[in-house]
Homo-oligomer: A and B are copies of this chain.
Amino acid sequence: MQKTLTRVEKRQQKLDVILRNAAKAFMERGYYKTSLDDIAKMQNVTKPTLYYYIKNKEDILVKCEEVALLRINEMIDKVSVDQHSGFDMLYDFIKGYISLVTDDIIRCHVRHRGQMEDVLAKENSIKNHKQLEYRIREIIRIGIKDNSIRDCNSTILAILLFDSLNGISSWYKSDGQVNLGELTAEVLALFNGGVRG
């Protein structure tokens, strides 16, 4: 017999559902074209109920960001524990990131990061992303030192890497025509050896 959920657990679950539904709607219709009434309806509740779980509309973005950053950082932790080379770490990061950007909450974060109206939230969001970029830059630097990665501007490479991977998040749909495995393989091949024939 499963232990019945405590109030706190139920509450957390409901918040998760709100975030998931909101993230999905934001990705499909966009943040401003999605009203809180729309989101409430997806849970079969009314708008004021949402305010029991979130501070305001923008808080949904902030909370999605929290979840997303946790998962992304966790993934970077995993690929960072000593591998053969910087290249290998970066390689695994790309694989990991692509598998993450199929999740609505992550996609929502990627699409809306740094766009909050609240000045503090916005600054924080930008800072958070800088932190991620910094971690990837470090991996690239390790790779350059051990000669597994071409000597390059690690800042620019890190940005370009995020750009292309984040681009995927905006169009990738699990039910679309592009297969995730093949997509990952192509990205890794491009990343590994460029496009030269």
Interface residues of A (CB under 8 A from B): 30-33, 87, 90, 115, 117, 143-144, 146-153, 155-157, 159-160, 162-164, 166-168, 170-171, 178, 182-183, 186-187, 189-197
Contacts and interface: CB of A to CB of B under 8 A. Distances in A.
Contacts of A155: 178
A32 B197 CA distance: 45
Contact of A160 (B87, B115, B190): B190
Chain A interface SS verdict (over half) = helix
Contact of A148 (B30, B143, B197): B197
A193 B190 contact: no
B164 A196 contact: no
Given A160-B164, A186-B156, A148 B196 contact: yes
Contacts of A196: 87, 148-150, 192-193
B150 A87 contact: no
Nearest to A145: B197
